[in-house]
Structure 1
Amino acid sequence: MGIGSMYVFLISLQMNPRSRATVIATLLGAIGTFLLAVVTVYNITQTNRTLRLREKEAEKPLIIDEISNILEPSITQLEQNLDAFENTEGEGCAFNWIHATPSPQYGGANGPGSIELTDPIGLARIQQDNQKLYKDLERHELFLRELSEDGDQFYEQIRPKIQELLKEADIETGDESNIAIAVLKREGFAPDHRLEPFWKEYSEELIQFAENQVSPCLTDIKQKECAYQEHSRNLLRECRSRKAHLKQKYKISDNEVEDGESDILRASM
């Protein structure tokens, strides 16, 4: 009972019995209305909470699919791609981008692999919930396509010079792309490779030509490789963060995620 109600009650004690009965009845009615409102608010709150819990349970299988189909594969692929960069050495470009067609299988020592996104529902949810993550996933694939296009452009610009030197060395054409890759990565051939004598004789001239005549394209590839690594590190953090957030919000265990991944493997067989 509030202070105002108590004041009204005390005043009613000074009234005649009939007036006092009317005031008390009114006061009890007001208290009853207040209590009814409290109960109603409580019931609405509990109903909303129950509905939210049911919605979460209904969404949970879809969230597990998102983690298993998008976030977990993205995390794995990005980790492999960044590890591949860490394992490269030399002054040239880290990978061969000539005639490169990045795919989930194109990774490791060959170069960064693309992220296979096979869950359109999960992607739509990410697009709605986290625009930045969605755009960064798209940007990752765009990076790989741009690097592949730059690699092909580099090849077309250096190919005439390679053909000229092959002719000078009296070697049949057909190995231009392998030599261009060696120039791009600044890596020669094994001692027993048939192009090793050619590389030993002409590598310096080819590298100088690339630096002088194909420099803008070569510089662009190196800069994009650095930008790609930075983008991949940020994207990896985003994917890990969303995965942890969803697991906590929907109370998803590691076993449930593993079961979801097993279902994907069985479906692909």
Structure 2
Amino acid sequence: MKIIFIILSKILQKGNYVNYNVAEKFAHSQSLKYAKDWLDIKRPLNIPLQPAVIYKNKGWSTFLNTQIHGNKDLASLQDVKKFIITNKILSYSQYARLRNKGKTPYNFPFNLSKFLSNNKVNSIYSLTGILPIRLSDKDKKQLYNYKKLKEYISEIKEIDSQQSYYEYWKKNEVPIFVRKSPPRMKDWKGWDDFLNKKKEYLSYEEAKIKIKEFNFNAGREYFDYVKNNGEIKNIPRTVNQYYSIKNTWKGWYDFLGKKK
């Protein structure tokens, strides 16, 4: 049994697969129409399960002899978009993995990035409007700076607070130029400035005196209070952010008058 396992392992090494022409000839003999059908047939051990991985820069249409004749047979941009959304594809590598497993239709592009570029679409995000976990370099270049985003948000009547900002983008499609987390922006000046809410707040030292009335023991208690009761008069909701921007914040222990 051990000897058989060793033999199989050697056969399955990349270097022991037949060359592309031999594999292609075998594929043509199977008269398959779709790449996914390749996974269902019986193959000799020296014919790869994932030919797209072994034979680089080829393509399923040629490999299976299902040649696409002219651009009219290529999948449309809308078909590709629907497929990407249905399969929750957020990156080119995700698409490539599905393609290599034969799970994309035969007339779908081998190179998704090139296909989108030819259709004047900058990225997957531009096509679907679904925010990826990590933005590509192309997407990052399209993000609005602080000033432009502030102007854009000022025109959305439903957004008038930090909470409503996040709630709004949960219900609406996020444009490629909108940042889902504004506080991470380089020029961030606080929610009041961002939402054009001019409020007069107490200085840090004055706020410290006022906050003693509530006898909070930790920052968590403070945030629980403002979440349930609203902003304390003349004290910003996000005190740590506000006074950090003012360069007066000294930490929660100091602000609440507690000893470390």
Q: Same fold (TM over 0.5)?
A: no
Q: Looking at secondary structure, tell me which structure has more helix per residue.
A: 1
TM-score by length of 2: 0.21
TM-score by length of 1: 0.21
